[in-house]
Amino acid sequence: MRPFLSIVAVALAASTVVSPAGAQATETSQRFRDPAHITGDPTGLGLDPAGFLGLRYPNGEAAAERTAVPVVAFVVDARGRIELPTASFLNDIEPEFRHAVCDLLPRLRFHPLVIDGQPMRVLLVQYYGFNTLVTPDEAGLRRAEELMRQRQEAYGTQPVENVIPELERRPHCDSP
């Protein structure tokens, strides 16, 4: 009887030890909950916005005529709302511009992706341009559009679980 209890005790101890991989999986499941039920955008066309609310240019950045084109991946739920914890910035952008995008995202609404009559959660990639008429950054817009296209294609052609580790490494709306 004693060896059996030792085996049970070892099994219980092993099940409570958290490895770094296990800790990351827990964090991922909190940010990207239920990733098996998220699809990439299979059309590559993006979702149709139900309405667009203006993007606010950060005051100090506008006054200094700084430009930026954040590229952001995020999950849109089956009701057409963005799951803000999933918002992942795919290019390096100053925090002021990230914060402006993060302020906008909860207010956006999309027509949900519907497959076989069923609304789906979808991983979408979009860019948001902060540009001025005086000093437009056309090259930055082209780079952002290309990055958006590449990532949307990559995310739409494989299970979302495969891309979550890449997205987890990026800055998010809850990043400092």
Q: Looking at residue 135, what is its pLDDT?
A: 76
Among residues 166, 149, 123, 150, the alpha carbon closest in space to that of 36 is found at 123
Domains delineated in the chain: 34-168 (3.30.2420.10)
CA 122 from centroid of its chain's CA atoms: 10
> At how many degrees (to 10) do helices 160-168 and 20-31 cross?
100
Average pLDDT score over residue span 12-17 = 29
Q: Looking at residue 7, what is its pLDDT?
A: 31
Span 77-108, pLDDT tens digits: 999 999 999 999 999 999 999 999 999 999 89
Is 90 exceeded by the pLDDT of residue 123? yes
In angstroms, what is the C-alpha Rg of the chain? 20
**Total-model pTM:** 0.79
